[in-house]
Amino acid sequence: MADVVSTVEIATASQAGMKALGAGIAVGLTGIGTGVAEMGIGSAAVGAVAENKDMFGLALLFTVIPETIVIFGLVVALLLLF
Amino acid sequence: MLTPKKMSRLLIVASKDQLPPVIKELHRFHRFHIDDFIAGGRAGYEGFAIGTPLAGASEASSDLIKVRSIENTFSIQASDITSAEKRNNADLRAVIERELPVIEREVSALNAERSKLDAAIKDCEQKIAEITPFLSIPADLSLYSGYEGFTVFAGTVVKDVQIPEPAEYEIVKKGKAAAFMVAVVPNRQRGDVDRVLSDAGFSPVTIPAESGMPEERIREYNSRISELKANASSLAKRMDALREEHARFLVACEELLKADIEQAEAPLRFATTEQTFVAEGWVPSDTIAEISRRLTEATGGKAFITEIPISPHDTVPVEYNNPSFAKPSELFMDIYARPNYTEIDPTLMLSIVFPLFFGLILGDAGYGLILLALCFALRGFMKGEDGRYFLAVLRNASISSIIFGLLYSEFLGFELPWAPIMFSRHLNIGTKGGEGGSGPMIPALMIMAVWIGILHITLGRVLGIINHARQDHGEHRIKAVMANFGWLLVMWGILMIIWSMFAMPYMPDFTKLPVIVMGLNAAAILGAVMLVLGVLFIARDSPLEVVELPTIISHVLSYARIVAVGLSSVAIAMVVNYISIGMLIGPQLEHLTIIGVVIVVAGVFVFLLGHAMNTALGILGGGLHSIRLHYVEFFTKFYKGGGLKYNPFGLKRIFTED
C-alpha cells in the first residue's frame, strides 16, 4: 500500500517537473526564434538609421515585430505554470 | 483636438521695394510657413524668377562665422546660458562692428599662446621619454654622439648578445622585458655588429641630443613642464574671465546675425519679377487677421494679402493642436511619423494610454518613485525641447506606475501592508512559500490583457473607418470603410464563437444558450456569420489582405506582453529580495562575525545592484513594449503619417529684442 502512495507522489512530482521543463523550453526556444528573426532585421535597421535618422521610428517598428514570438512563449509558459 | 491645427494658404504680393518690411514683419511674427518657389515648378508662375538676397547677407555671414569660431574656442553654447536680459537689436548692431574685431583679436592671441604652451609641454614630455631608457646607464648623454671614427648603437634587444672586441657595450636587463643596450663600435666593425644585433632582434632608439647626466636632464625638464603648466593654467583663467565677460554678448550676436541672414536670404524662396514679388505660404487659420493687419501696417497698405483655397494636391504643413497635457507625447509621434493634414492625430490617445500601459507593466510603487526622482534629477541636464518632453512623458509614466503599484500592492518586489486591490501579481518566491499568500492570478491577468487588446484594436479600427471616410473618395471610400468594418466583424465574430464554446472568467459566457443547429447555438451562428461577412468585406477591398487574417489573433495576443513583461520584472525584483534578505538576516545578525559583516555588506550590494538593474530593465521593458503596442498593433490599423512639418519663417528670440 505504501508503495502505491509513493508511486502516486512520484508521478505528481514528475508531472510538475515536466510542466516546469515545458515552460522553460517554451520560453527558451521562442527566445532563440525571436533572436534569429531580429538579427537580420536589426542589422538592416541600424544600417538604414545610419543613412537616414528619420527612419528610426520605422526601423524600431520592424525590429520589434518578432518580439511577439517570445511573448507567445512566455504566455504558454505562464499558463503551464499557474 | 484630434486633428492637426487648421491651416490657410496665404498669398502676399507687393512691389519689390516692400520686400524688407514684409520680410522683417513675417520674421518677427514667426507664423508664416514659406512655400518655397522653385523656378518653373508651379503652374501659373511662368516668367517669374527666384529673388536675389537683400543687401548685407554676405557681411552678416562672415560675421556669423567669426562669432561661431569664437564661441567654439570658448565652447559657449546658447543652451547653457540662462537668465540673460534681452538686448536691443539696434544697440547690439551698433556695437558688433566695433567690438567683434577686438574680441576676435584677443581670442586669437590667447589661442596662439595656448597652442604654443601646449606644444612646449609636448616637446618636454617627448624629451623625457627619449632620455628615460638611458637612465639605467650612468653616463653623460653628450658621450653618445659627436664621434667620427665610432658609431653608437642604442636600443633594445630581445636576446642576449656578445659583441666582439674592440667594441664597448653595456646591456641592462630589467625584468622580463627586452634588455636595453648601448654599444660604441669602431666604424670598421660596424657591419659585423649590425648583423649580430639584428639577429638579437635589435630595435634602435633615438639618441637624445643632450649633455649632462640623464637624471639631471629629466629633473630639469620636469621643472620646465610644471612651469609651463602653471602658465597654461593662468592662461586658462584669463580665457575663462574673457568667456564670462563676453558669453552673453556672443550668443546675442549669433542670434541677431542668424536672424539677419535668414531675412536677407528670404527672397531666394519667393517668386519675383522685375518690379514685384509673390510670397506663398501657410499660416494657422486663426492668425490670418493678425498677420494681414501687421503686414498692412508695416507696408503702409502697399501689400496685397489674400487667402487662396486649398487644393487637394497641396501638401499642407502640419502643426500639432494638442492640449498641453498631451504635448510631450508629440515626441513619440514624430519618431513614428508626423500625421497627415487630413488624418486623425492620435497624440492625445497616446498620451493617455501610454502611461496606463507603462503602469500596468511596471506597476511597482518603489520603482515608480525611483523613476520620478530620476525625472527631477535629470531636469538640470536635459534642457532642449525634446529632453523636456521626454522627461514629462517619463514623469507621467512613473506616476501611473506608482498608482498601479499601490493597486498591485508592490514596493520593490515587497508586499505593501494591504492585499492587492487589482489582480495579484505576487509570485510564490522564497519567503512567500506558497501557503497563505495570494499567488499570481495569471488567467485573470491574461484575460485583462486580452480585453485591453480587443478594445485598443477596436478603437484603432474605428479610427481607421473615420480616416478612410474623410480622406478617400468615390467607390474606393466605401470599400475601404467596409474593409475596416470587416476586420472588426471578423475579430468580434471569432470572439463570439470562442465565447459560445468555452466559459471564461471576466468574459461573456454564451455556452448555456440553447443549441439551434448542428450543435451550434445562436451566438456561434452569429459569430460565424460575422466572420464570413467580414472576410467578404475585406476581400472586396483587396483580396491579398485576406492572408493577413491571422494577425487578428496574434495582435490581440500580443497585448499579453503587458502581463508577461510585468511579471518578469516582478520575478526579478522578488529574486533579488530573496537573495539579499537571505544574506542580510540569516544567521549573520545573530552571531556577528567578520565574515558575517562581509556577507551583510555583500547582501546590501546585491540589493542595490539588483534593483538598479531591474529599474533600467523596467524603463526599457515598460517603455519599449508600451510604445511598440502603439506603433505596431494600434497605428497599423489607421495611421499613415508622413505629413510635412510646420516650420514657420523666423526664430524664437531668447537673447535679443527689437
CA distance B455 to B453: 5
**Domain assignment present for B39:** no
Which residue on chain A is closest to B567 by alpha carbon? A78
Q: What pLDDT score does B458 carry?
A: 95
User: Does residue B536 share a domain with residue B450?
Assistant: yes
- In-domain check, residue B410: yes
SS3 B278: strand
- CB B144, CB B152: distance < 8 Å: yes
Three cell numbers at B2?
Answer: 484630434
Residue of chain A whose Cα is closest to the Cα of B554: A68
Nearest CA in chain B to A80: B442
Using the CB atoms, write b or e for A36-75: b if 16+ within 10 Å: ebbeeebeebeebbeeeeeeebbbbbbbbbbbbbbbbbbb
In one-letter notation, the amino acid at residue B64 is L
Closest alpha carbon to B31 in B646, B521, B595, B599: B646
Interval A11-34 mean pLDDT: 90
B416 and B395 part of one domain? yes
Residue B583 maps to a domain: yes
A window 6-65, beta carbon within 8 A of B: 56-58, 60-61, 64-65
| Interface contact flag, B557 A71, Cβ < 8 Å | yes
**Cβ-based contacts of A64 with chain B (< 8 Å):** 624, 628, 631-632
In chain B, residues 276-335 whose CB comes closer than 8 Å to chain A: 335
Substitution target in A19, A72, A78, A79 with the highest count of B β-carbons within 10 Å is A78
A71 contacts on B by Cβ (under 8 Å) = 557-558, 560-561, 564-565
Residues of chain A positioned with their CB less than 8 A from the CB of B631: 57, 60-61, 64
Residue B139 lies in a domain: no
Q: How far is A11 from chain B (nearest CA, A)?
A: 21
For chain B, 658 residues long, the average pLDDT of each consecutive 10-residue run is 88 90 89 85 78 85 87 80 74 82 87 91 90 83 83 82 76 74 83 82 83 87 92 89 84 87 89 89 91 89 88 87 90 87 91 94 92 91 84 93 90 83 73 51 86 95 92 87 94 92 84 77 90 93 89 89 87 87 74 79 90 89 88 89 88 79
Quote the pLDDT of residue B228.
92
Q: Phi first, then psi: give them for residue B100, nearest 5 degrees.
A: -60, -50
With bands split at pLDDT 50, 70 and 90, how would you rate the model's confidence at A1? low
Rounded to 5 degrees, what angle do the CA atoms B538, B539, B544 make?
105
Among B335, B443, B563, the residue with its CB nearest the CB of A57 is B335
The answer to whether residues B449 and B548 belong to one domain is yes
Please report whether residue B274 resides in a domain.
Answer: no
Contact yes or no for A65 and B632 at CB 8 A:
yes
How would you write B302-314 as a 3-class SS string? CEEEEEECCCCCC
B517 DSSP β-pair partners:
B520
B538 and B459 part of one domain? yes
Percentages (nearest 5) of helix, strand, coil residues in chain B? 60, 10, 30
| Whether residues B515 and B576 fall in one domain | no
Distance CA B580, CA B574 (A): 10
Q: Residue B151, SS3? A: strand
Distance from CA of B331 to the nearest CA of A (A): 11
pLDDT for A74 beyond 90: no
Which of residues B542, B558, B574 is at a domain's end?
A: B558
Return the residue of B nearest to A74 by Cα: B564
B205 in a domain, yes or no? Answer: no
Q: Which of A65, A68, A79 sits opposite B442 (nearest CB)?
A: A79
- Decide: helix, strand or coil at residue B419: coil
> Is the residue at B631 inside a domain?
yes
Asked if B482 and B380 sit in the same domain, the reply is no
Query: B557 and chain A: CB distance < 8 Å anywhere?
Result: yes
For B36-49, letters b (16+ CB in 10 Å) and e give ebeeeeeeeeeebe
Closest among B241, B251, B237 to B83, alpha carbons compared: B251
> B554 CA to chain A: closest CA distance, Å?
8
What are the distances in angstroms from CA B177 to CA A24, B138, B161, B196, B215? 52, 20, 15, 20, 22
pLDDT at A22: 92
Q: How much is the pLDDT for A73?
A: 87
Q: Is residue A71 within 8 angstroms of chain B, CB to CB?
A: yes
pLDDT at B83: 60
Same domain flag for B538 and B568 = no
Please indicate whether, in this complex, the C-beta atoms of B557 and A57 are within 8 angstroms of each other.
no
State residue B531 phi and psi, 5-degree precision: -65, -50
Among residues B528, B543, B558, the one where a domain terminates is B558
B505 touches chain A (CB under 8 A): no
Residues B458 and B540 in one domain: yes
Q: For position A8, what pLDDT does the model report?
A: 87
Question: How many CB pairs lie under 8 A apart between chains A and B?
Answer: 55
ipTM entry: 0.74
Kindly state whether residues B343 and B358 are assigned to the same domain: yes
Query: What 8-state DSSP symbol labels residue B377?
Result: H
Tell me whether A79 touches chain B (CB under 8 Å): yes
List pLDDT tens digits, range A30-60.
Answer: 999 999 999 999 999 999 999 988 787 778 7
- Per CB-CB distance under 8 Å, the chain B contacts of A60 are 335, 628, 631
Domains within chain A, CATH numbers bracketed: 2-81 (1.20.20.10)
Are residues B575 and B542 both part of a single domain?
no
Cα–Cα distance, B409 to B423 (Å, whole number): 10
Give a yes or no: residue B250 inside a domain: no
Using alpha carbons only, give the angle B217, B218, B220 rounded to the nearest 5 degrees.
Answer: 65
Does any CB of chain A come closer than 8 Å to the CB of residue B146? no
Q: Are B484 and B457 in contact (CB under 8 A)?
A: no
Closest CA to B494 of B433, B449, B549: B549
Q: Which residue range(s) make up the domain with B402?
A: 327-422+561-637
What CA–CA distance (Å, rounded) separates B93 from B264? 15
Q: Are residues B453 and B553 in the same domain?
A: yes
pTM over 0.90: no
> Does B450 lie in the same domain as B418?
no
How many domains are there within chain B?
2
User: For position B435, what pLDDT does the model report?
Assistant: 44
